[in-house]
Amino acid sequence: MNCLLSIKNLNKTFDSKDEKICAIEDISLDINEGEIIGIVGTSGCGKSTLLNIIAGLIKQTSGTCTFSKDSPKISYMLQSDALLPWKTVLENATLGLDLMHIKTEESVKEVKKMLKEYGLKDFIDKKPASLSGGMKQRVALIRSLAIKPDILLLDEPFSALDYYTRLTISNDVQRLIKKTKTTTIIITHDIAEALCFADRVVVLSSRPSKVKNIYDLKFPKNLNFIEKRTLPEFNNMYNVIWRDLDVKI
Amino acid sequence: MSKYKIKVLCIQVIAVLALLILWEIAAETGLINSFIFSSPSKIFTTLVDLLKSGELFNHILVTFKEVFVAFFIGTIIAFVISIIMYLNKFIADILDPFLTMLNSLPKVALGPIIIIWTGANQKSIIVMALLTNIIISIITIYNGFIHTDELKIKLFNTFKATKYQILTKLVIPANLSTIVSSLKINISLTFIGVIMGEFLVSKSGIGYIILYGTQVFNLNLVITGILILVLMSYVIYKLITVLERKYITND
Ligand SMILES: Nc1ncnc2c1ncn2[C@@H]1O[C@H](COP(=O)(O)OP(=O)(O)O)[C@@H](O)[C@H]1O
Ligand SMILES: [Mg+2]
């Protein structure tokens, strides 16, 4: 498989007023084209920081983060949907195309098709205020995918949703990502979500983040999230990762 | 109109009528000195006289014109300065303490200087009004700008948006309601500034009527002037509210 993103000996230290916070320590990781990587770690360990560095929003202290192609297109889906309330659903979904000056009739048509496919047909020209939380999140995902990113970064994208919405939306989102074959990194503190979503799970230690373990998941491909959760291997993996995280109760 | 709204309106009308009637009775029976406190009937006669001579319309027009000129110039300058400050943090940091200082300064204290600098004419009224409205408008709009949702700015940054795109496609639309509420503050302050200016220099306008009335001790004229002011500011305020309803879609 082709390696898309190669992270080598990455370090990040924040200099705040009176203390240095080391968020990331010596992380190395290769991400292949088309795969979905799940990153789990306790909250505050440095997961968002890692994504921010990959997205180029902040600079690392040392180490490298190299893409195999020049000027890769990166999409970042944030914790909240961050839809603009004064724009329609379609305008929101094409925001990235607009800002990057790559909006064409063709691309708008594709966005419309995705919106229709994911239950948003009647809302295309409505304002986001009329959508439920799950629908908003779907629009946010379509906005991220519209630019046809080389890599999609998801930072706890479902944490604001209630449990049941979360299950169905995450399943939908994963299907859409698989279908478009988009290379994806998803951050979560929910082990089960990572196991359902990803092809590989990277476990980070608590701050400063180091790679503790990497697991290749070998669940049967065609199962949905609920079905995956009933597999015995699923539970085994869950327990292994839980021990890795070393959460004190 | 709903039943509730009709009820509110009725009580408002009754309260005003009751006040006028009580005022009139008190003045008629000598309970209050109508020479100092005037009375509704005297105010009415004054109003009719002013209307007949055609003076009133002229005065209202003068004041309105001053208010609108100062309001438009003030809003545009405040808007432009806010944008410059938003785009250039360096300039914003330099201006910050001066804005705070100027904001707390009672602008009327500058009146005499303004008259000397610009001459005792309409120009000084406009300058007075601008000084009154501009600083607070800048502070309000700029504060709205810098408090734009961080997450949305991050979203724009992930799409490699330029600072200009962030300004025009995010910061300004996201702050429309802040801008409108600053317009509301702006219009009442402009009014204050214009009347202060008219007290200082003018030969016409509602402020002039009030001042002239005081000088010749015609309290009917003074109170009539004040009532007209109340009506004028209400009309302008309503205009802005209508604008707001029409153009601001709430989240
Ligand atoms: N800009 C910053 N300045 C200082 N410290 C920061 C900054 N951003 C994050 N941190 C610190 O780095 C650590 C990791 O943060 P983050 O990556 O957001 O954690 P999480 O894994 O929950 O996403 C936290 O302790 C946080 O306080
Ligand atoms: Mg985080």
Q: What is the pLDDT of residue A249?
A: 64
Domain boundaries B38-249, corresponding CATH code? 1.10.3720.10
Do residues A160 and A232 share a domain? yes
Question: Other CB atoms closer than 10 Å to residue B22's CB: what's the count?
Answer: 12
Give residue B150's Cα distance to chain centre: 32
Which range of residues forms the domain containing residue A127?
Answer: 83-149
Q: Of A128, A149, A170, at which residue does a domain stop?
A: A149
* A151: closest chain B residue by CA: B158
Do residues A139 and A187 share a domain? no
Do residues A161 and A237 share a domain? yes
* A52: closest chain B residue by CA: B158
Q: What is the pLDDT of residue B251?
A: 43
Helical spans, DSSP H, in chain A: 47-54, 89-93, 95-99, 105-117, 133-146, 163-180, 191-197, 225-229, 232-245
- Report the distance separating Cα A214 and Cα A30, nearest Å: 11
CATH of the domain at A43: 3.40.50.300
Which of B155, B160, B161 has the CB atom closest to A78's CB atom? B155
Do residues A68 and A96 share a domain? no
Do residues A172 and A243 share a domain? yes
| Every domain of chain B and the residues it spans | 1-32, 38-249
Look at residue A218 and tell me if it is in a domain: yes
Q: Of A103, A129, A149, at which residue does a domain stop?
A: A149
Local confidence band at A113 (pLDDT 50, 70, 90 cut-offs):
very high
Local confidence band at A248 (pLDDT 50, 70, 90 cut-offs):
low
C-alpha closest to that of B179 among B190, B171, B188, B191: B171
Q: What is the pLDDT of residue B101?
A: 92
Q: Is A72 in the pocket of ligand 1 (CB under 6 A)?
A: no
Domain count, chain A: 2
Q: How confident is the model over A84-90, as a mean pLDDT?
A: 94
Encoding tokens for residue B140? Answer: 């309000």
Do residues A63 and A176 share a domain? yes
Instruction: Bin A159: left if φ > 0, else alpha if -120 < ψ < 50, else beta.
Output: alpha
Question: Other CB atoms closer than 10 Å to residue A169's CB: what's the count?
Answer: 22
Q: Of A149, A171, A191, at which residue does a domain stop?
A: A149
- The ipTM assigned to this model is 0.85
**In which residue ranges of chain B is pLDDT below 70?**
248-251
Q: A100 and chain B: CB distance < 8 Å anywhere?
A: yes
In degrees, rounded to 5, the angle at the alpha carbon of residue A197 between the alpha carbons of residues A191 and A201 is: 55
Local confidence band at A118 (pLDDT 50, 70, 90 cut-offs):
confident
Looking at the CA of residue A46, tell me the nearest atom of ligand 1: 17
Nearest CA to ligand 1 atom 17: A46
Do residues A29 and A103 share a domain? no
A130 CA to chain B: closest CA distance, Å? Answer: 10
Look at residue A78 and tell me if it is in a domain: no
Give the ligand with the smallest distance to the CA of A46: 1
Give tens-digit pLDDT for B151-172: 999 999 989 899 999 999 999 9
Look at residue A191 and tell me if it is in a domain: yes
Q: How confident is the model over A140-151, as a mean pLDDT?
A: 92
Which residues from A are below 8 Å from B165, CB to CB? 99
